[in-house]
Amino acid sequence: MAEPAALSEPHSGTAGLAVSLREVTKVYQSGVMALGPLDLDVGKGEFVSLLGPSGCGKSTALRLIAGLDVPTSGSVGVAHHAELSPAKNAIGFVFQEPTLMPWTSVRENVLIPLKLAHAPAAEADARVSEVLAQVGLAEFAEAYPRELSGGMKMRVSLARALVTDPDILLMDEPFAALDEITRFRLNNDLLSLWRNLRKTVIFVTHSVFESVYLSQRVVVMTARPGRIGAEFRIDAPEPRAEDFRTSAEYAGYCRQVSNALAPSYSGQPGR
């Protein structure tokens, strides 16, 4: 469906690209080549999944985009907003685990990015309430993380990533530890958030089904070193909902993507 060019905004310098990786490699201190060379362009507002087996460098790629790691070689480009206010961060990150601060309430957990940016308190409070409502946790603002279920904790984590109104949302296998029912519900909620907010989402997963259900584009990665093996556009109509999960079209896409992933299985003991 939509080409990256169609998503471009006239005022941006990078011609509609939110993230652009060029010849990026990452070699760890142990000498292990974790990534690359990798070329990846993600358009503004696009929902892209990085799919691959454990150890294929997909999480590493995400950390490089977030700036949590530096590449060994190559360049990582991330488009920034023209007007960057102090309370605004270009990137929101959702980790594999909820990664919440257990010693304080949900409200404080979601507030922390704004606090670190010295945002005015009243404005920040209003913003926190708004995001908590978006993820359906308005009445749990004063609860402590340990009082919440796994799915709710992940929602808090998502709210925290959204609170700075980032252009780009990076998600590192966020729903991998949840049960299937909760995961499906969160998948749907994430899709509707994405439809409403039109963020760029880069979603790392090892689930073929999740990647096809969510994304406009699935990038299949191969391991050691992490490279792009194949790419698929998922041109399914929107909005997607539960009936898409059981459609023949969905099954077809899943089969294609699974076949592309199959070479990664061979020669990988224990996985």
**Residues at the interface with another protein (CB under 8 A):** 63, 66-68, 89, 91, 93, 95-97, 99, 101-104, 112-113, 115-117, 144-146, 164
Q: Whole-number minimum distance, CB 97 to another protein, in Å?
A: 7
Contact (CB, 8 A) for 163 and 127: yes
Structure tokens that stand for 161 in this block:
């990533």
**Whose Cβ is closer to another protein: residue 10's or residue 103's?**
103
Q: Minimal distance in Å, beta carbon 229 to another protein?
A: 28
What is the smallest separation between the CB atom of 112 and another protein, expressed in angstroms? Answer: 6
Q: Which is nearer to another protein, 83 or 243 (CB)?
A: 83
Cα(118)–Cα(81) distance, integer angstroms: 19
* Identity of the residue, 150 or 263, whose beta carbon is nearer to another protein in the bound complex: 150
Q: What backbone torsions phi and psi does residue 36 show, to the nearest 5 degrees? A: 95, -175
Provide the edge-to-edge strand list for the sheet that holds 17-27.
Answer: 33-43, 17-27, 73-78
152 residue type, one letter: M
Residue 189 contacts by C-beta under 8 Å, 6 or more apart in sequence?
A: 135, 136, 155
Nearest CB to another protein, comparing residues 118 and 271: 118
CB of 67 to another protein, least distance (A): 7
Token match 């799915």: residue? 151
Residue closer to another protein by CB (options 51, 62) is: 62
Give the β-pairing of 91-94 and 33-43.
Answer: unpaired
Shortest distance in whole angstroms from residue 266 CB to another protein? 32
Burial call 35-49: b when 16+ CB within 10 Å, e when fewer: bbbbebbbbbbbbbb
Closest of 47, 21, 49 to residue 35, by C-alpha? 21
Contact between 202 and 42 under an 8 Å Cβ cutoff? The reply is: yes
Taking the complex as a whole, the smallest distance from the CB of residue 129 to another protein amounts, in Å, to 20
Pick between residue 164 and residue 205 the one whose CB is nearest to another protein: 164
CB nearer another protein, residue 17 or residue 66: 66
CB of 114 to another protein, least distance (A): 9
- Alpha-carbon distances, residue 167 vs 33, 151, 153, 189, 212 (angstroms): 30, 24, 23, 18, 22
Phi then psi for residue 68, to 5 deg, are -80, -20
